[in-house]
Amino acid sequence: MRAPHTPIIAWAVTTGESGMRAQARGLAEAVADAVIEKTVGGRFAAPWAGGATADRLAPPWPDLLVTCGRRSAATSIAVRKASGGRTVTVHVQDPRWRANAFDLIVAMEHDPIPAGPKVLKVATALHDLTPTNLAEAARVWRGRLAPLGRPLAGVMIGGTTQRQVFTLEDGRRLLAGLERLRAEAGAALAISPSRRTPPSIVALLRDAFKNDPRVLVWDLESENPYRGILASADLLVVSGDSVSMVSEALCTSRPVEVFDVRSPNHQAFLDRLVALG
Residue 3 lies in a domain: no
- My answer on whether 112 and 137 are in the same domain is no
pLDDT in tens, 8-54: 999 999 999 988 999 999 999 999 999 999 999 865 455 545 444 56
| Structural domain of 146 | 131-276
- My answer on whether 228 and 209 are in the same domain is yes
Under the banding of pLDDT at 50, 70 and 90, the label for residue 162 is confident
pLDDT confidence of residue 47:
52
Mean pLDDT for the stretch of residues 63-91: 97
pLDDT in tens, 103-120: 999 999 988 999 999 999
- My answer on whether 217 and 185 are in the same domain is yes
pLDDT confidence of residue 20:
93
Distance from C-alpha of 155 to C-alpha of 174, rounded to nearest angstrom: 10
- My answer on whether 108 and 50 are in the same domain is yes
Does residue 264 carry a pLDDT above 90? no
Instruction: Tell me the pTM.
Output: 0.87
- My answer on whether 15 and 115 are in the same domain is yes
Pair type for strands 215-217 and 235-239: unpaired
Mean pLDDT for the stretch of residues 160-169: 88
Bond before 151 cis per omega within 30 degrees? yes
Of 203, 92, 215, the C-alpha closest to 154 is 215
Residue 185 lies in a domain: yes
pLDDT in tens, 190-208: 999 999 999 999 999 999 9
Task: Give the number of domains in the chain.
Answer: 2
